[in-house]
Structure 1
Amino acid sequence: MSIHKLAEKELRLNLIVTSLKGTIEEKEAQILKLELPAEFKKIHFEYAEYSNENIEAIKRGLFLFWFSHSEPMFLTGICEIDEVANGKIIKNIEKILDADKMDFELSWMLSYYKEWDWIFANYQSHEKFYTALIRSNVLLPKINKEQMFNRGLMGKYWNSLN
């Protein structure tokens, strides 16, 4: 599935999640019955597969990992992300760091995520990544809403901050 199709699928799944009614427990039960976490896990896995060659896939995959830990399942539909797939994304971030090809957008994303550094505690052995995360100090810029369209939940989230 293409990166563009993955973004569309994320937003379709998100529409389902946001349309659910009931208590937190009822929404979570509906999410599990609809197997939405498994669908998000597949999307994340696809981003990990693309992450060797595509920085956009790295950004979206890392976002889904962060989002799965920073927000509750009844709001996101996400409750489990493949740790091996996420490790692949982290390794590809380290390759970007080694090549000195970190772009501004990924830099400010890491700065934002470091406020939840506990989410990435299992990746302390990836020293280059973890050091870049902890030392990152780029202020969140004014989000260009047009640039965030068609970028799945990541784009929707960043646009919600402006």
Structure 2
Amino acid sequence: MELDILAEKENVICEMVSNLYRTKSNDDSEIFTSIYNQYKSIHLQYSELSKNNLEALKRGLFIQWYQKTEPNFLSGISDLEQDAEKQIVNNLFTVINTKQVDSELIWMLNYYNSWDWVFLNYENFRRFDTNLVNEANNRLPENIDKKLMLKRGQMGKYWLSLIKYGSTE
């Protein structure tokens, strides 16, 4: 499955970034350029899949949000393709407008909305639907399926890092 392959590529990149951060070498610019290009390619593939795949949409949207909220030397994400970013946002609004949203996407959108400036640079952005993004929905789930999240690339790692929200086996 293509999503599994992309998640594994993300896991390899995350390990590389972590190792580079630990070694703190001054000679890593070429390696980071390669990492950024690999992540750009992964995001582009998610954007292509996102039209018909909610999981790809979630991962692509996460990467866009994470690029803006975390330093690139920690995330491995920098300078994503603008057309791919726009495609993800357009597909997100299609999913919202056709009511194909699931509960996970709702809590993700509410979480991302805390950094509302992240998505404001998109021409068609009109704030998230207030039926989805509101105070009543502004909470993460009490439990996150650890096994599932470990198969979801950097997005899964991030959600699992919020250990105060617990996890299931």
Q: Output the TM-score relative to the length of structure 1.
A: 0.88
Amino acid at match of 1:81: L
Residue 43 of structure 1 aligns with which residue? 42
Contact 2:43 2:80 in 1 (8 A): yes
Name structure 2 gaps, 5 residues minimum: 164-169
SS of 1:132's equivalent in the other structure is coil
| Structure 2 CA distance for aligned equivalents of residues 118 and 134 of structure 1 | 20
Amino acid at match of 2:24: G
Residue 96 of structure 1 aligns with which residue? 95
| More displaced stretch, 10-19 vs 118-127 | 118-127
SS of 1:80's equivalent in the other structure is coil
Amino acid at match of 1:158: W
Distance 1:16 1:77, change over 3 A: same
Say if 2:146 is the partner of 1:157: no
Say if 2:133 is the partner of 1:131: no
Cα offset, 1:12, TM superposition: 0.3
Cα offset, 1:28, TM superposition: 6.0
Contact 2:57 2:92 in 1 (8 A): yes
Amino acid at match of 1:14: C
Distance 1:89 1:118, change over 3 A: same
Contact 1:73 1:79 in 2 (8 A): yes
Equivalent pairs, count: 157
Cα offset, 1:156, TM superposition: 0.6
Cα offset, 1:68, TM superposition: 0.9
Residue 53 of structure 1 aligns with which residue? 52
Q: Deviations over 1:17-65 (max 9, x none)?
A: 1011116xx37625435x1001000000000000011000000000001
| Structure 2 CA distance for aligned equivalents of residues 85 and 32 of structure 1 | 21
Distance 1:71 1:31, change over 3 A: farther
Cα offset, 1:146, TM superposition: 2.3
Residue 107 of structure 2 aligns with which residue? 108
Q: Output the TM-score relative to the length of structure 2.
A: 0.85
- The CA RMSD over aligned residues, in Å, is 2.1
Cα offset, 1:94, TM superposition: 1.1
Amino acid at match of 1:67: Y
Identity %: 39
Contact 2:106 2:132 in 1 (8 A): no
Q: Deviations over 1:55-100 (max 9, x none)?
A: 0000000000111111101111111111110111111111111211
Name structure 1 gaps, 5 residues minimum: none
Cα offset, 1:134, TM superposition: 10
Cα offset, 1:149, TM superposition: 1.9
Q: More helix by proportion, 1 or 2?
A: 1
Residue 15 of structure 1 aligns with which residue? 15
Structure 1 runs of 4+ with >3 Å offset: none
